[in-house]
Amino acid sequence: MGILVVLSHFRSFSQLYQPMELVEYLSKIPLFNGLPKEQLVDLAQITVTLDRDKGQVIFSEGDEGTGFYLVLQGRIKVYKLSPGGKEQTLHIFGSGEPFGEVPVFAGKHFPANAEALEKSKVLFFPRASLIKLIEKNPSLALNMLAILARRLREFTVQIEHLSLKEVPSRLAAYLLYLSDREGGSLEVKLDITKGQLASLLGTIPETLSRIFARMNKQGIIEINGPHIKILSRPALEELVEFGSGL
């Protein structure tokens, strides 16, 4: 499996950016804030660009992790799979976000799977050179620590939701999150399919669909395909706080 993955890196190698363009791009990524330009140049040289079509795998649970990744274009879903085939999405990463760092620092195999939700380009950073860089650059170390810490915080919330809240609460929280992300707009658009949203919320499409329908009927929201109008923000907030009532 490990060999397969490595081969696939080279099979799909493509120099998306001219070296300097890539350096320019990397310099704007929070993770590399504060890195001296010459090190960015070095870094850019040892990366490999991978192209993935919708549905293609980046890595699978159990694969050996020889480095980590950064999304250049598209979106990458990181998820766990049950024997029965149910998926739990852990995170959906977009442009500029690093993922797959865990095996770089602890253990060596990936704890989850990653695949492209759409045609995507990702950058691969080999482990050894990253470690060397971190040893020389405290700011890089701190940036990486910040990223892992932020992710721990998010997982904390996900665990809380799965264990302590019902699906309507989780959906309400997600809608409020979307709304906040758009500066508080009351009209939001789902940028993932409802099936993917179900997986992100730890449920299945049927259940999600029913809950959308209930919220719609109760006048809390109004749905048109992926377009959702929030009619009562307070109702959503109350749902997040005290689950039931729906």
Partner DNA sequence: GCGGTTCATTGATTTAAGTCAAATACCTTA
Partner DNA sequence: TAAGGTATTTGACTTAAATCAATGAACCGC
Instruction: For residue 127, give the amino acid letter.
Output: R
Q: Which is nearer to DNA, 41 or 223 (CB)?
A: 223
Verify binding: residue 195, DNA, rule CB under 7 A: yes
The enclosing H or E element of 45 equals helix 37-45
Verify binding: residue 106, its own copies, rule CB under 8 A: yes
Which of 160, 187, 222, 237 contacts its own copies by CB under 8 A? 160
212 binds, among DNA, its own copies, none (CB under 5 to 8 A by kind): DNA
Q: Which residue, among 19, 92, 9, 110, has the nearest Cα to 52 in the 3D structure?
A: 9
Size of the site for its own copies (CB under 8 A): 48
Verify binding: residue 115, its own copies, rule CB under 8 A: no
Can you read off the two tokens belonging to residue 50?
């991978």
Q: Which of residues 4-43 bind its own copies (CB under 8 A)?
A: none
Which of 150, 181, 210, 227 contacts DNA by CB under 7 A? 210
Verify binding: residue 244, DNA, rule CB under 7 A: yes
Let me know: does 120 contact 52? Beta carbons within 8 Å.
yes
Q: Which of residues 176-215 bind its own copies (CB under 8 A)?
A: 202
80 binds, among DNA, its own copies, none (CB under 5 to 8 A by kind): its own copies
What is the torsion angle, in degrees rounded to the nearest 10, for the CA atoms of residue 41, residue 42, residue 45 and residue 49? -80
What is the torsion angle, in degrees rounded to the nearest 10, for the CA atoms of residue 197, residue 112, residue 118 and residue 6? 180
Phi–psi pair at 45, nearest 5 degrees:
-70, -30
Q: Which is nearer to DNA, 15 or 224 (CB)?
A: 224
Query: What is the closest distance, in whole angstroms, from the C-beta atom of residue 153 to DNA in the complex?
Result: 23
Which of 203, 220, 228, 230 contacts DNA by CB under 7 A? 203
Q: Which residues contact 6 (CB under 8 A, 6 or more apart)?
A: 66
Verify binding: residue 81, DNA, rule CB under 7 A: no
Q: Helix, strand or coil for residue 35?
A: coil
Let me know: does 174 contact 63? Beta carbons within 8 Å.
no
User: Which residues are near DNA by CB under 7 A?
Assistant: 84, 86, 166-168, 193-196, 202-213, 223, 225-226, 244
